[in-house]
A and B are shown apart, each in its own frame.
Chain A
Amino acid sequence: MNLETVKRVKKSKPFTVIDAVIVAVLAALIGVISWLVFRAPSAETVVITENGVSHEYSLGKNAEIKLEHMTVHIKDGYVWVTDSDCRDGTCEHTGKISRAGQSIVCLPNNFVITINGKGDLDWELGRQ
């Protein structure tokens, strides 16, 4: 390194053809990532299934749904459960879910909440 590198930098050009290629590749990558990230929230629904009966709610619309065994909150794109009367409280411990494919399950009450959506972002990013 040292002076040789300085010499090489001094002789080099401010921009090269390879730079342009790299910039194009990075711009495409950014485009793909933003497409994945931003299309996800469109038309996502929260499906609450209790004893085999399903009700659908919009993830985009804030709501507080009081059910027999618990309260389901939908707020700012997040879904979570409070006031569960079952003793293991798994549904409450699941915390807040917000992405298509995530779910909150309560086995004792035969109760499932899932978020459905067209954009399976979680699958594409290798998460569940």
Chain B
Amino acid sequence: MKKLPLSKSVCMKPAGAPKRGERNDTRRLTAIAFLVAVALVVSLIESALPSFPLAPGAKLGLSNIAPLFALIMLGVGDAYAVMILKCLLGATLGGGLTGLMYSVPSGLVSLTVEIVLMKLVFDKMSVAGISLVGAVAFNAMQVLMASAITGVDLVILLPILMAAGLLAGAFTGLLTYYIVKKLPYSVYGSAVG
């Protein structure tokens, strides 16, 4: 079934009897909304926990499961949608819109890296492997953005946060893999129509 871009189907379809494509899009929308909601709750809980003493700002990043899951279950565009919504709403709810300047570029870079790897080398590389490369890219980008925006040289954080990203990315990737593996096909069927 051919997928329509979200915006078109949401804004331009006339009201009336639902067609097959429309129902599909409603399900995709619901799946996206669900994933974003879960990501937000997880990241809110996570931000309440104390951070690691060695690496300031380092988190497990459990909410990054959502975009990766969307990439596997739905597709490239929807994964970007989940990532951007997660960043925007996360900043709005969690306070600190300045965080957007770090999280949006980092999120986009890491998701793009993951998409390229998924398209090119998946099967040879596992979901966990792809996730950890994405997480390292995320953290590296975040340090560079922070250095660029604050004007303070933060390269000293680069190796620590890259190592933290490696571990956290492997963990969240493995978690995503097992979630995808254990969920029955009926779940995906109901989400993708």
Given contacts A9-B177, A26-B166, A30-B159, contact A19 B73 (CB under 8 A): no
Q: Are B158 and A3 in contact (CB under 8 A)?
A: no
By the criterion of a CB under 8 Å from any partner CB, how many residues of chain B are at the interface? 38
Number of A residues whose C-beta is below 8 Å from B? 29
Task: Determine the residue in chain A with the shortest Cβ distance to B160.
Answer: A34
Contact check, B163 vs A30: say whether CB atoms are below 8 A apart. yes
**Number of residue pairs across A and B with beta carbons under 8 Å?**
96
CB < 8 Å neighbour of B180 from A1, A6, A23, A29: A6
* B162 lies within 8 A of chain A by Cβ: yes
Residue of A nearest to B179 (CB): A9
B192 & A12 in contact (Cβ 8 Å cutoff): no
Q: Does A107 contact B (CB under 8 A)?
A: no
Chain B residues engaging chain A, CB cutoff 8 angstroms: 71-76, 118, 121-129, 132-133, 136, 153, 155-156, 158-160, 162-163, 166, 170, 174, 177-178, 180-181, 185, 188-189, 192
Can you name 27 A-B residue pairings with CB atoms under 8 Å? A2-B188, A3-B185, A3-B188, A5-B72, A5-B73, A6-B72, A6-B180, A9-B177, A12-B123, A13-B126, A14-B126, A14-B174, A15-B129, A18-B121, A18-B129, A19-B126, A19-B129, A23-B129, A23-B170, A26-B136, A26-B162, A26-B166, A30-B162, A33-B159, A33-B162, A37-B159, A98-B153
